[in-house]
Structure 1
Amino acid sequence: MALEYTDEQQMLTDLTKPRILLMGPRRSGKTSILRVVFQKMPPHETLFLESTHAVDIRLANNNPFLQFQIWDFPGDFFFYRVSRNGGEGGGGGRELGGSMTQEGEGEGPKEGELLDEVGVFGVPAALVFVLDAQDEPYHEALTRLVDLVARGQSVNPSLHVVVFIHKVDGDLFLSDEHKVDCQRDVQHRIAQELRDASLEHVEVSCFLTSIYDHSIFEAFSKIVQRLTHQLPVMENLLNYLISACKMEKSFLFDVVSRLYLATDSNPVDMQTYEMCVDMIDVVVDVSCIYGYVVGEERQAGGPLGRNMIFG
C-alpha cells in the first residue's frame, strides 16, 4: 500500500519514525505534492483539491527502509504553547481537534499535545518549505521560513531544512535559464535572511520542483535519503554492484512511490532516473495483469507492491 494508517495514538507518540514536515504559504502546493508522490493522483486532478485547514498526519510504510511520518500543515498554521494541565501557556492559537479516519482524512493532532515547537521538531525531521515560484515577491514567505528555521533549530539543531521552489512549470519558466535564475535569486535571499537572523550556520538545500515532471520525485528522494540511517551502507553496496557487474548506474527504488532510496557515488543523470521510473511503471502494469496474487499483495502496487527494485 502506498500509505498505511495506524491507530492515532500510536502514530502521534511513535518517536522512532522520522518526520517530513510540509510547510509553506497557502496554495503553494503542499497537499498536491503529497497526493502526487504518495497517492498517485494525476497532477491535473490536484487543481480541484481544497486548501488544508488542519494538520494532516500520514504514515508512509512501504518497506523497512521507507518508514516515516508526513505532516501536512495548513498555510496559516502557527505555534502556540499549551501547558500539560490543558491551559494555554502563552500566545494565541486555534484549536486543531479531531482524529484520523481510516482513510487518513483526519483533522490532525489534538489541542495540548503537538502544537508547540517541541512536539513538532523534537524528533529526527526534515522541514520542507514549499515556496510558490510564481507568487512574487517572496519576502513574506521567506520571513516565515526563517521563523520556522529559528524555532526548529532551538529544539532540534540537526533539523534538515529543504526549500522546494515549486510550480516552475508556468509561462514564467519556459526556459531552464529562467528556472536557474529564480533558484539563484531565492538562494541569495534565503542566505541574506538567515544572516540577518544570526542563522547563517544553517544549511538550506533548494530544489526546483513541479508535479508535472519527475523533479518532485527527485527532490523527495533526496529528503528520504537524509532521513535514512542505512544510506552509507546502501551506497557502498551499490558501488560494489556497479563495479562487479560493470554497470553505468544503479538505483535502489521503492516501487510504490518511485522514490530512490540510494544510488551509487556516480552523479545522477535526470534522464537516466526518468527512464528507470518509466521502466518500473511498465513492469508494475504488466505484473498487475499477468502476475499472480498472494494474499492482499495486489493493493496499490500489484504483486510488486511491497518490494524494491534495483535500476
Structure 2
Amino acid sequence: MSSTLPRVLLFGPRRSGKSSIKQVLFSKMSPHETLFRLESTPTPQHLLVDTNPLSQFELIDFPGDWSEAENNQIFKGRGTCFVFVMDAQDEPYDLVLSYMTGLISKAVKVNEGIHIHVFINKVDGELFLSEEAKYDCRRDVVSLVQEEMEQIPNLENVHIEYFLTSIYDHSVYESFSKVVQKLVPALSTIESLLNVLVERNGMEKAFLFDVASKLYISTDSNPVDAAGYELCSDMIDVVLDVSGIYGGRKNGNGIEEGLSEGASVDESTINQEEDKNGYYDSESCAAIHLSNGIVLYLKEVESMLALVCLTREESFGRRGLVDFNIGVFKDAIKKMIEVAGPK
C-alpha cells in the first residue's frame, strides 16, 4: 500500500458492523449477505480505494480487540480520518465508549489534526422505528462521550462528528461521503464550481459522485435533502443497470453489437463501452423526468466521476445551455486533476 495516500482508520468492537460497512460500500456485497458471509477481522485489513482521481485513499479495518497500547504511528499523517463504529443496539455503551475515548486520546497525542468520526450504527432495528428514537440515541452517546473526555486531559476541545448509520439504507453512504470529503484537498474549489453551476442553471442541487462506491465527493452549499440525495444516488444504479442491457459493446471490428433496434429510455442517452468498470464511459448521460416536475440529470465528468443534478423542468428546457455549462465545469475538473498530477 502507498504510504503517501491519506488513510481512513476503521475501528470498533466486534459485531459493530464496521467490516459490513466496508464490504457494502467498496465490495458491492449486499447488506443481507454480510449476515452470513463475513467473519471477524483477525488482523488489520488494508484496502486501496482509487477508483477516481479526486479521492484516493487507503482504508484500514482494525480488529475489534485492537489494543490502544499497540503501535500508535498509524495515527500519523496529514490526511488521516479516524472512524469508530459502535452498535446502537448493544447497550449499555459505557465500555465501548471508554475504549473509544482511549483510542481518541492516543490518536490526538500523535496527530492533532486527525479527523474523528463516530458512526452510531445499526439504527435499523425495532428499537429505532421512529426518527425520535434515533436522535435520542445520538444525544445519549454524545453526552456519554463528553463525560468520558472531560476526564482525560487535553481532550475537552476535540471535535467529533457523529452519524446515525445503517447498511440497509442510504445513511451509511451519506455519512461515509462526509468522511471521504475530509481527504479531498480541492474540496472548497469543487464546491465553489458546483455553486456557480447551480446558480447559473437554476438547479436545485448538484452532487459530484464516485460511480464505483456511490459516495459523493462534493456538493454545492445548499442544504442536502435526504430524499433528493437518495434519488441522485439511486440514479447511478439505474444508469449502470439500463446501460448494461441496452449499451453497445464493440466487437473486434469496432462495430457495436448487442443493441435492441429502436430501444430508448425516455430522455436518456446511454452509450457506453464496456471496460473493467462496466458500462460507464465518457459518453454516459441520462435524464429522468419525475412526476413532480423535477428532472434528474447525470453526466460523466471524468474517469468514474459523475455529476448528478436536480433541476426543474423549466430550467432543463434550456438543455443546450445546461450542457455547455456542465462542459465548462468538466474542463475545470480535468485541469484540476492535471495540476494535481498522479498520486
TM-score (norm 1): 0.82
Q: What corresponds to 2:214 in structure 1?
A: 258
- Give the Cα–Cα distance (whole angstroms) in 2 for the partners of residues 57 and 172 of structure 1: 33
Aligned residues of 2:68 and 2:103 also touching (Cα < 8 A): no
Alpha-carbon RMSD: 1.7
1:225 aligns with 2:202: no
Q: Which runs of 5+ in 1 are unaligned?
A: 1-10, 82-115
- Give the Cα–Cα distance (whole angstroms) in 2 for the partners of residues 304 and 280 of structure 1: 13
1:61 aligns with 2:15: no
1:132 aligns with 2:87: yes
Q: What corresponds to 1:89 in structure 2?
A: none
SS of corresponding position for 2:280? helix
- Give 1:297 deviation, angstroms: 5.1
Q: What corresponds to 1:288 in structure 2?
A: 244
Aligned residues of 1:122 and 1:155 also touching (Cα < 8 A): yes
Q: Paired residue for 1:78, among 57, 60, 67? A: 67
- Give the Cα–Cα distance (whole angstroms) in 2 for the partners of residues 80 and 166 of structure 1: 25
Q: What corresponds to 2:202 in structure 1?
A: 246
Q: Deviations over 1:224-258 (max 9, x none)?
A: 11111110000000000001111010100111100
Q: Paired residue for 1:36, among 24, 44, 62? A: 24
Change (3 A) 1:79 1:178: closer
- Give the Cα–Cα distance (whole angstroms) in 1 for the partners of residues 57 and 279 of structure 2: 22
Q: Paired residue for 1:215, among 159, 163, 171? A: 171
SS of corresponding position for 2:306? strand
Aligned residues of 1:249 and 1:266 also touching (Cα < 8 A): yes
- Give the Cα–Cα distance (whole angstroms) in 2 for the partners of residues 293 and 16 of structure 1: 37
- Give 1:214 deviation, angstroms: 0.1
1:273 aligns with 2:229: yes
- Give 1:300 deviation, angstroms: 4.5
- Give the Cα–Cα distance (whole angstroms) in 1 for the partners of residues 177 and 128 of structure 2: 23
- Give 1:117 deviation, angstroms: 0.6
What percent identity do the matched residue pairs reach? 51
Aligned residues of 1:288 and 1:298 also touching (Cα < 8 A): no
- Give 1:69 deviation, angstroms: 0.3
Which letter does structure 2 place at the counterpart of 1:50?
Answer: E
- Give 1:191 deviation, angstroms: 1.2
- Give 1:292 deviation, angstroms: 3.9
Change (3 A) 1:304 1:35: farther
Q: What corresponds to 2:149 in structure 1?
A: 194
- Give the Cα–Cα distance (whole angstroms) in 2 for the partners of residues 16 and 294 of structure 1: 38
Change (3 A) 1:294 1:149: farther
- Give 1:30 deviation, angstroms: 0.7
Which letter does structure 2 place at the counterpart of 1:63?
Answer: N
Q: Deviations over 1:192-238 (max 9, x none)?
A: 11111120111011000000000000000000111111100000000
Q: Deviations over 1:80-127 (max 9, x none)?
A: 56xxxxxxxxxxxxxxxxxxxxxxxxxxxxxxxxxx111x11112111
Which letter does structure 2 place at the counterpart of 1:36?
Answer: V
- Give the Cα–Cα distance (whole angstroms) in 2 for the partners of residues 161 and 192 of structure 1: 17
How many residue pairs match? The answer is: 264
- Give the Cα–Cα distance (whole angstroms) in 1 for the partners of residues 207 and 180 of structure 2: 14
- Give the Cα–Cα distance (whole angstroms) in 2 for the partners of residues 52 and 301 of structure 1: 30
Aligned residues of 1:23 and 1:129 also touching (Cα < 8 A): yes
Aligned residues of 2:68 and 2:102 also touching (Cα < 8 A): no
Question: Which moved further from structure 2: 292-301 or 70-79?
Answer: 292-301
Q: Paired residue for 2:276, among 299, 302, 308? A: 299
Change (3 A) 1:184 1:282: same
- Give the Cα–Cα distance (whole angstroms) in 1 for the partners of residues 178 and 165 of structure 2: 12
1:153 aligns with 2:108: yes
Aligned residues of 1:293 and 1:303 also touching (Cα < 8 A): no
SS of corresponding position for 1:63? coil
TM-score (norm 2): 0.74
- Give the Cα–Cα distance (whole angstroms) in 2 for the partners of residues 238 and 51 of structure 1: 41
- Give 1:288 deviation, angstroms: 2.1
- Give 1:289 deviation, angstroms: 2.5
Q: What corresponds to 1:121 in structure 2?
A: 75
Q: What corresponds to 2:12 in structure 1?
A: 24
Aligned residues of 1:62 and 1:256 also touching (Cα < 8 A): yes
Which letter does structure 1 place at the counterpart of 2:276?
Answer: Q
Question: Which moved further from structure 2: 67-76 or 189-198?
Answer: 189-198
SS of corresponding position for 2:203? coil
Q: What corresponds to 1:15 in structure 2?
A: 3
Q: Which runs of 5+ in 2 are unaligned?
A: 252-272, 283-302, 309-343
